[in-house]
Structure 1
Amino acid sequence: MSVEHEFPKDFWWGAATSGPQSEGRFHKAHRSVFDYWFDTEPQAFFDGVGPNVASNFYNDYRHDIALMKKVGLNSVRTSIQWTRLIKDFETGETDPDGVRFYNDVIDEFLQQGIRPILNLHHFDLPIELYERYGGWTSKHVVDLFALFAKRCFELFGDRVKDWVTFNEPMVVVEGEYLYEFHYPKLVDGKKACQVLYNLNLASAKAIQAFRETDCPKLGGRIGIVLNLTPAYPRSDSPEDIAAAKFAEDYKNNSFLDPAVHGTFTKSLVDQLEKDGVLWTSTPEELKIIKNNTVDFLGINYYQPFRAKKRETPFDESRGWLPEKHFENYEMPGRRMNPYRGWEIYPKAIYDIAINVRDKLGNIPWYISENGMGVEGEEKYRNKDGFIEDDYRIDFIKEHLGWLHKAMQEGSNCFGYHLWTPIDCWSWSNAYKNRYGLIALDLVTQQKTIKKSGYWMHDVIANHGF
């Protein structure tokens, strides 16, 4: 087969999932904020499906990892649940079953020839730490997270070489404190900005803990996974450009710049200070952020953001929101994924890659998530029983085409991970939209490779398509 888009031989071809979205709640020491939310408000979840069983990875991990191997994946990212691993949050005492489980999972990945990338936080804060301290508004919780991270490095750093502090920390800010799509569903711009700062500090403190262990000597490295929604202005008018600039600073640079450069974006700090919502920080904390930047970046890309200047007065009744400085612009003729309400714009993956090259020191990076969620995928199951998801293959091809172009132009990208290996539980959406290369039957828990999984196998075998 001739390969038009050829990728390096050591390229990471993989997929990403998370503990709370795949494992189920079996034998967990504690509840996360999502476990608690489901227990108290099950009707908030699509079809009333919660995280109790999820994709049953806790019981099925050997079989599931074998399926990932059959697809050809050479790397997989998942997460360690704070609520599963740690028995006592204050002392860092571990739960024996949690330690056993994650040791077994890591060993199974390695035995199957799959590189495990382990993330430490995937929206799954323990509910006790929210109830006791106010969750991520608390700097004590930041220190407890660093202790949890240290335990992970000590327990698993002999075999795991690639670590991630947070997945999509901006979603914690937006979902919990601005737009009410994650528990506790608050609208509090001042708290949101403090949480944004505290998450950056928590990431830096986890990196500091990592560098105090033997992990770096053993060839380990640590990064962060950020969801980037590049902000495009509606027009080249100064007002639209300024609106997009603030959106870019708040949504993307607020985590990118501290992670890579160790400093917060000056224009963002100045504006938040002017608005009266700037976080509280200390010189010591800022020094920790400055001295503990990432070794690599993971970038999740699904959709762009389009901004225009405010054309209607900002509603002050709910306090400060980022939208004080921009409005969302719906570009005429845009392509949409109707199931998610997200614009499909593959060229943004190229724009992100060039931005990493030119403005972030060409730091090593990879696409840590990209994918297409589709509702009612069962209707694409053919007579042989497998799902013909050609739309997913087309989506991946387009995005990989733009990524390949950016790599040809010198962007330092080392991998591409799809969301997700096996259809997984997705917060209040539960199993509404399916993303996997492998289908999950919720009733029987049977898992079958989709057409996209077989296609991906060939891409990996041929180092491209």
Structure 2
Amino acid sequence: MNKFQPFTKFPDNFLWGGAIAANQAEGAWNEHRKGISIADVELYNANLDRKKIHGFAHTLDEIKTVLNDEEGYYPKRYAIDFYHTFKEDLALMKEMGMKCFRTSINWTRLFPNGDEEMPNEDGLKFYDELIDEIIKNGMEPIITISHYEMPLYLVINYDGWNNRKVIDFFMNYAKVVMNRYKDKVKYWIPFNQINLTYCGLFIPFGILEDQVENTENATWQALHHQFLANALCVKYAKEINPEMQIGMMLADTVVHPKTCKPEDLMRTLKKNQMQHVFCDVMLDGEYPRHLNRYFDEHKISFKMERGDEEILKLYPSDFMSFSYYYSKVNTAQHSDHPYDLDKNPYLDESEWGWEIDPVGIRNALNNYYDRYKKPIMIAENGLGWIDKVEDGTVHDDYRIKYLGDHIAQMKEAIKDGVELFAYCMWSPIDIVSCSTSEMSKRYGFIYVDIDDLGNGSKQRLRKDSFYWYQKVISSNGEEL
């Protein structure tokens, strides 16, 4: 075979699938001794600003208030009841022909407080059945160990990931699930979208502001602990089954300069460097040198213990995965904050202010593969929209176009030489929105009859996109 023979199509063994999160789908928030997670305190706000990312409650007073609230509606406590309907829902995934299914294990279903020594067997029984059912339906299970389901007890009593003890608690949990499913699950993602610190770390900043002068320092301390935990997951996986693949995941937030003005270019370069840090540490195994200046100017000096750098270097992730939804632009006037950005004037946007940029996914794939030379999984990609049921279904041509345009650009990236092995669109079935806790922000191929306040029959309906994705999979991406 010619070494330089071009790549022309999706690989024959390409994993076409979809992704959900336990906290957005399962419900059953207080059944079978499950504990309270950070997602369970997310209150639905009928007056929310859809174009603003909301995140989780972040002060101790807010947490105490919602724990005692008996009137507000907390959508992620109930979600779409996947805990009880997973067999029927997975049968629909099989009907589409999906080759893989990504979901998470809810930490609090196994360790209600997070610091227990032994897991809750009722919780393990559920995941035994769930993973077996995924495999039974011909899909490769892809398991996220932590997808914004951190035990609330660890937040209140340990200050979340800012406390190094949480590494031990997390590894106790991670070792239980990796060991139990080591012969059933090949692909693992320890942390979902690790760069979205407003969701993933869950440090109660209201507490930290009273205890420390530099909350950004505390954020980097918490991130360092997560980096170590990710490397330790790689180490343990290789000890129990060398065939297991541990991936790192981030939300693609790499931005483009708004103009060719040199100052805009430099400011954008520096902002993108900060987004690449997560891959630099988890794929290359070391903190990049440019952080020396950043830490000095921002007075950041988090604690590393002897041996930490060696652990990061010895146990990098096997593959990269990322979520991709939209793109933004940056100027010299924008701050260092990752969400201080401008809209791209050349792109349309959804009702939630998310620009639709299919070419951006090709740009991202080339960017990451050129830098890290690791296999890539698209862990999330989808369009949130307000769907309307007509004639017993949803005619979602807008979703078909969005996904088809993105998949076409993925194919172009494969032609460019990118080693892409899986596509987990978000989400094959309607679930509660992460950022706004709405049901009305729908992503799925399968409509779930539940409204923003939990009312509805829970009936599942196949949308037009259901049959479209069926053809995409059966044609291995040739029919879009």
Q: Shorter-chain TM-score: what band? A: 0.7 to 0.9
Aligned to 2:348: 335
Q: Kindly indicate whether the alpha-carbon contact (under 8 Å) linking 1:74 and 1:115 is maintained by their aligned counterparts in 2.
A: yes
Structure 1: how far apart are the matches of 2:159 and 2:68?
Answer: 25
Structure 2: how far apart are the matches of 1:159 and 1:293?
Answer: 22
Aligned to 2:95: 70
Aligned to 2:35: 30
Aligned to 2:219: 192
Aligned to 2:281: 258
Aligned residue runs from structure 1 range 286-325, under 5 A: 286-310=309-333, 322-323=336-337
Structure 1: how far apart are the matches of 2:344 and 2:81?
Answer: 41
Shift of 1:301: 0.5
SS in 2 for 1:429: coil
Aligned to 2:21: 18
Q: Kindly indicate whether the alpha-carbon contact (under 8 Å) linking 2:112 and 2:151 is maintained by their aligned counterparts in 1.
A: no
Shift of 1:426: 2.1
Structure 2: runs of 5 or more not aligned: 1-7, 44-62, 451-455
SS in 2 for 1:229: coil
SS in 2 for 1:343: coil
1:7 matched to 2:30? The reply is: no
Aligned to 2:56: none
Aligned to 1:48: 73
Shift of 1:175: 7.4
SS in 1 for 2:429: coil
Q: 1:184 to 1:235 in 2, by over 3 A?
A: farther
Structure 2: how far apart are the matches of 1:301 and 1:9?
Answer: 23
Match for residue 448 of structure 1 among 436, 445, 461: 461
Shift of 1:236: 2.5
Q: Kindly indicate whether the alpha-carbon contact (under 8 Å) linking 1:145 and 1:206 is maintained by their aligned counterparts in 2.
A: no
Structure 1: how far apart are the matches of 2:206 and 2:421?
Answer: 35
Q: Deviations over 1:78-118 (max 9, x none)?
A: 00111001257435311111111000001111111111101
1:249 matched to 2:273? The reply is: yes
Structure 1: runs of 5 or more not aligned: 315-321
Aligned residue runs from structure 1 range 344-423, under 5 A: 344-361=356-373, 363-375=374-386, 377-378=387-388, 381-383=389-391, 385-423=392-430
Q: Kindly indicate whether the alpha-carbon contact (under 8 Å) linking 1:247 and 1:326 is maintained by their aligned counterparts in 2.
A: no
Structure 1: how far apart are the matches of 2:137 and 2:238?
Answer: 28
Aligned pairs, how many? 437
Q: Deviations over 1:305-350 (max 9, x none)?
A: 3111127xx7xxxxxxx33x9952333333211x221111111111
Tell me the amino acid that sits aligned with residue 463 of structure 1.
N
Shift of 1:229: 1.5
Aligned to 2:297: 274
Q: Kindly indicate whether the alpha-carbon contact (under 8 Å) linking 1:33 and 1:183 is maintained by their aligned counterparts in 2.
A: no
Structure 2: how far apart are the matches of 1:296 and 1:107?
Answer: 24
Tell me the amino acid that sits aligned with residue 262 of structure 2.
P
1:141 matched to 2:153? The reply is: no
Shift of 1:222: 1.1
Q: Deviations over 1:16-38 (max 9, x none)?
A: 00111111113242110121444
1:232 matched to 2:247? The reply is: no
Q: Which moved more, 1:234-243 or 1:365-374?
A: 234-243
1:431 matched to 2:439? The reply is: yes
Tell me the amino acid that sits aligned with residue 408 of structure 1.
K
Structure 1: how far apart are the matches of 2:285 and 2:267?
Answer: 25
Q: 1:28 to 1:397 in 2, by over 3 A?
A: farther
Shift of 1:269: 3.8
Q: Kindly indicate whether the alpha-carbon contact (under 8 Å) linking 2:148 and 2:199 is maintained by their aligned counterparts in 1.
A: no
Q: 1:424 to 1:276 in 2, by over 3 A?
A: same
Q: Kindly indicate whether the alpha-carbon contact (under 8 Å) linking 2:18 and 2:426 is maintained by their aligned counterparts in 1.
A: yes
Tell me the amino acid that sits aligned with residue 426 of structure 2.
W
Shift of 1:204: 1.4
Report the TM-score, using the length of structure 1 for normalisation.
0.88
Aligned residue runs from structure 1 range 177-188, under 5 A: 188=215
Aligned to 2:474: 461
Q: Which moved more, 1:421-430 or 1:108-117?
A: 421-430
Q: Kindly indicate whether the alpha-carbon contact (under 8 Å) linking 2:100 and 2:141 is maintained by their aligned counterparts in 1.
A: yes
Report the TM-score, using the length of structure 2 for normalisation.
0.85
Aligned residue runs from structure 1 range 90-239, under 5 A: 90-173=115-198, 188-213=215-240, 215-216=241-242, 219-239=243-263
Q: Kindly indicate whether the alpha-carbon contact (under 8 Å) linking 2:330 and 2:342 is maintained by their aligned counterparts in 1.
A: yes
Q: Kindly indicate whether the alpha-carbon contact (under 8 Å) linking 1:173 and 1:192 is maintained by their aligned counterparts in 2.
A: no
